[in-house]
């Protein structure tokens, strides 16, 4: 590996290490595995640094972390991945119909109650989301990326980002309104 | 209403074009149910945004930084993990380690990078460099030892079966050098036993190299990247002590270890 590539890696990836770790932590669900995923992702980023064209270092880095996390999930949490495939199938069948059963099932909480939701309760609710919803919500509401960036990171059309985000939030609102 | 929900979300996120945004605003004004949903989504967004942000640990940061440098070899911390009795010990010492980690973090960032650069491709690293690199590596791992005990009768047997010879372990608690535990490092291609001692918040790695290997070593340097190194030899081993402890204290440690009574 050339000196230039190493320097480029330090410029492109290192500034986003907190974001990388945050995404990996939300996807794997714990710190130790998140660190492993980030290390693996950084190895991949280092090997592929020549392929970075220089437009959006953060999105490029997070896409690699996301892919490494999905590989990790396939290997260590196959259950979660099956769930993803089911959801994708449901999504295709519904083809644009955005109603989400989960959102309308529980009692609908007041906005004020949501705003006061305890940290632990909110974290647990997010952790309980299916992976595709969780990653979309994490990228948007925790990391503040726009829909276009999220679409490129997760490899889906912007319309899918929009519907996943709506469902993720709908599920969270429902679960915060559910009985404690 | 449900068809509007993704559009409403996109509107709240500022992702709608002006025509769609106006359309949603019109519906929000007309539909109190949709307006209530908007309030909920905004409340949720705010609550999620207030969650504490994740930060990469210093250890992770250092390990990633090490990717762009030559990597010193060490028997993996993971392999040793099952052998550790770390948990109970961690609970007891966790707070102290925290302080210690903080005290070494700054030195690490400056020191380890320097070492890795020094170890960069092109020239064979010398034994003193490998010794310091292993010490740094251990500071970056979640724990600096693979067997944790202040009892030499626990530490010494741990090496049995892992190495042909277990090292001499001396109890120096009386001289204010507490035994922390042991691990196995790889220097060159040879596994070597390493004992870890502590004075105040400073850790000392003491490696016992086979004499043959030590003979090939370059003359020891007194300090590498700010870490002090003291080396001495007995009949069987060349001992290398590495620490960020001040040099006189590290020499005091070396003298105490040499004079110390080995276990019966």
Residue A50 · residue A18 · CB < 8 Å: no
- What CATH number has the domain spanning A78-180? 1.10.10.10
Domain range summary for chain A, segments of one domain joined by +: 1-76, 78-180
d(CA A89, CA B254): 68
B75 class by beta-carbon count within 10 Å (0-12 exposed, 13-18 middle, 19+ buried): middle
For A142, the closest chain B residue by CA position comes to B49
Q: Verify that B126 and B247 share a domain, yes or no.
A: yes
Q: Where is pLDDT greater, at B164 or B121?
A: B164
Total structural domains within chain B: 2
Confidence of residue B164 (pLDDT cuts 50, 70, 90): confident
d(CA A17, CA A7): 15
Q: Which residues, in sequence order, are bridge partners of residue A109?
A: none
H/E stretch holding A88 reads helix A78-94
Characterize the bridge pairing of strands B202-210 and B223-224. Answer: unpaired
pTM: 0.55
H/E stretch holding B238 reads strand B237-243
For A126, the closest chain B residue by CA position comes to B48
Whether residues A114 and B44 touch (CB distance < 8 A) is answered with yes
Q: Verify that B159 and B218 share a domain, yes or no.
A: yes
Give the model confidence (pLDDT) of A30-57 as tens digits.
999 999 999 999 999 999 998 888 789 9
Q: How far is A144 from chain B (nearest CA, A)?
A: 9
Mean per-residue pLDDT, B259-263 = 72
Give the model confidence (pLDDT) of A81-101 as tens digits.
666 667 666 656 654 444 444
Structural domain boundaries, residue B9: 4-49
Q: Verify that B68 and B44 share a domain, yes or no.
A: no
* Residues of chain A neighbouring B49 (CB-CB closer than 8 A): 141-142
Q: Which tokens is B77 given?
A: 């911390």
d(CA B44, CA A125): 12
ipTM summary value:
0.86
Q: How far is A138 from chain B (nearest CA, A)?
A: 9
Using alpha carbons, select from A105, A126, A120 the residue that is nearest to residue A177. Answer: A105
What architecture does CATH give domain A1-76? Orthogonal Bundle (1.10)
CA atoms within 13 A on the CB side of B158: 24
């Amino acid at each position: 590996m050339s000196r230039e590539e190493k320097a480029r890696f330090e410029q492109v990836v290192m500034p986003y290490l907190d974001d990388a770790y945050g995404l990996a932590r939300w996807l794997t669900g714990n710190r130790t595995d998140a660190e492993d995923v980030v290390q693996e992702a950084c190895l991949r980023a280092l090997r592929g640094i020549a392929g970075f064209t220089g437009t959006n270092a953060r999105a490029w880095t997070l896409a690699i972390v996301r892919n490494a996390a999905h590989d990790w999930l396939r290997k260590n949490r196959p259950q979660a991945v099956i769930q993803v495939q089911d959801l994708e199938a449901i999504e295709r069948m519904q083809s644009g119909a955005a109603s989400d059963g989960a959102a309308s099932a529980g009692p609908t909480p007041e906005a004020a109650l949501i705003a006061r939701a305890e940290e632990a309760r909110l974290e647990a609710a997010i952790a309980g989301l299916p992976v595709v919803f969780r990653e979309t919500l994490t990228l948007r509401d925790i990391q503040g990326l726009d829909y276009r960036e999220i679409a490129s990171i997760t490899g889906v059309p912007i319309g899918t980002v929009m519907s996943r985000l709506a469902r993720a939030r709908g599920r969270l609102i429902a679960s915060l309104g559910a009985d404690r | 209403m449900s068809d509007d929900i993704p559009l409403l979300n996109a509107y709240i996120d500022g992702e709608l074009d002006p025509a769609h945004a106006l359309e949603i605003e019109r519906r929000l004004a007309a539909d109190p149910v949709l307006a209530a949903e908007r309030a909920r989504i905004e409340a949720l967004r705010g609550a999620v945004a207030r969650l504490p942000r994740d930060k990469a640990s210093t250890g992770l940061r250092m390990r990633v930084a090490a990717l762009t440098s030559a990597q010193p070899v060490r028997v993996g911390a993971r392999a040793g993990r099952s052998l550790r009795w770390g948990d109970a010990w961690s609970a007891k010492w966790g707070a102290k380690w925290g302080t210690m980690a903080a005290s070494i973090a700054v030195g690490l960032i400056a020191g380890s990078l320097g070492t890795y650069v020094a170890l960069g491709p092109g020239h064979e690293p010398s034994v003193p460099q490998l010794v310091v690199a292993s010490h740094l590596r251990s500071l970056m791992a979640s724990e600096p030892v693979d067997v944790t005990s202040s009892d030499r009768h626990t530490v010494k047997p741990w090496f049995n079966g892992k190495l042909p010879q277990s090292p001499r372990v001396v109890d120096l608690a009386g001289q204010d050098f507490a035994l922390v535990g042991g691990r196995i490092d790889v220097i060159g291609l040879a596994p070597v036993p390493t004992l870890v001692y502590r004075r105040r918040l400073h850790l000392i790695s003491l490696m016992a190299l086979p004499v043959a290997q030590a003979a090939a070593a370059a003359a020891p340097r007194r300090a590498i990247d700010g870490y002090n190194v003291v080396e001495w030899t007995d009949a069987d081993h060349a001992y290398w002590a590495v620490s960020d402890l001040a040099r006189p204290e590290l020499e005091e440690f070396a003298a105490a270890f040499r004079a110390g009574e080995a276990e019966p």
